[in-house]
Amino acid sequence: MEYHLKTPLKEEEIRQLNAGDIVYITGTVLTARDEAHARILEMHEEGKELPFDLEGAAIYHCGPLMRRIEKEKDAQEAAGEEEWTVVAAGPTTSDRMSKMTPELLEHYNVRALIGKGGMNNVAESLRGKCVYLAYTGGCAALAAGSIKKVPGVHWPDLGMPEAVWELEVVEFGPLIVGIDTKENDLFTSIKEKARESFLKK
């Protein structure tokens, strides 16, 4: 099945998805890698409010390469604002965020995680409320083409790849449902089949 979803994502929308389905997303996607995850959890522990909304959010495991729009540089600096465009925005390895994901989903209603390579030991924490969407590695230019605007950036002190970037996307994909809300894990299934095939030889 193929689905075209808009953010913020609703629980009933992501519950209808099954491992192997194709998804395209339109709306706002937030990038977040290791350091951003760590800061989110740290701020929750300290009772601090996040500068962005994770309700129904789609988090993209990505360290984008950004370029400031130079033609309006002086005006941006005068207003205390900067405008950015995306040069490349391919997915990073999601498994690096596996350990922090259960706690993240315990505190925030994130509905989709996007990245590459699958995630370990997160299926149970995704159950009934969140999906993992796999994006093919090496598609940095394709991803950038789906990003129409960069409304903002949070925590730039973490550095360009680790900051949280708000990306306004249109038909972002194709994304494959790697882990659905019923704990079906496409990556685990493929590994098990490959192992069985190997043992039969």
Which positions are annotated as active-site residues? 37
Rg (CA), the chain: 17
**What gap in Å lies between CA 186 and CA 191, rounded to an integer?**
9
DSSP string across the chain: -EEEEESSPPHHHHHT--TT-EEEEEEEEEE--HHHHHHHHHHHHTTPPPSS--TT-EEE-B--EEEE-GGGHHHHHHHT---EEEEE-PBPBGGGGTTTHHHHHHHS---EEEEBS--SS-HHHHTTT-EEEE--TT-HHHHHHHEEEEEEEE-GGG-TTTSEEEEEEEEEEEEEEEE-TT--BHHHHHHHHHHHHHHH-
Nearest to 164 by CA among 51, 76, 82: 51
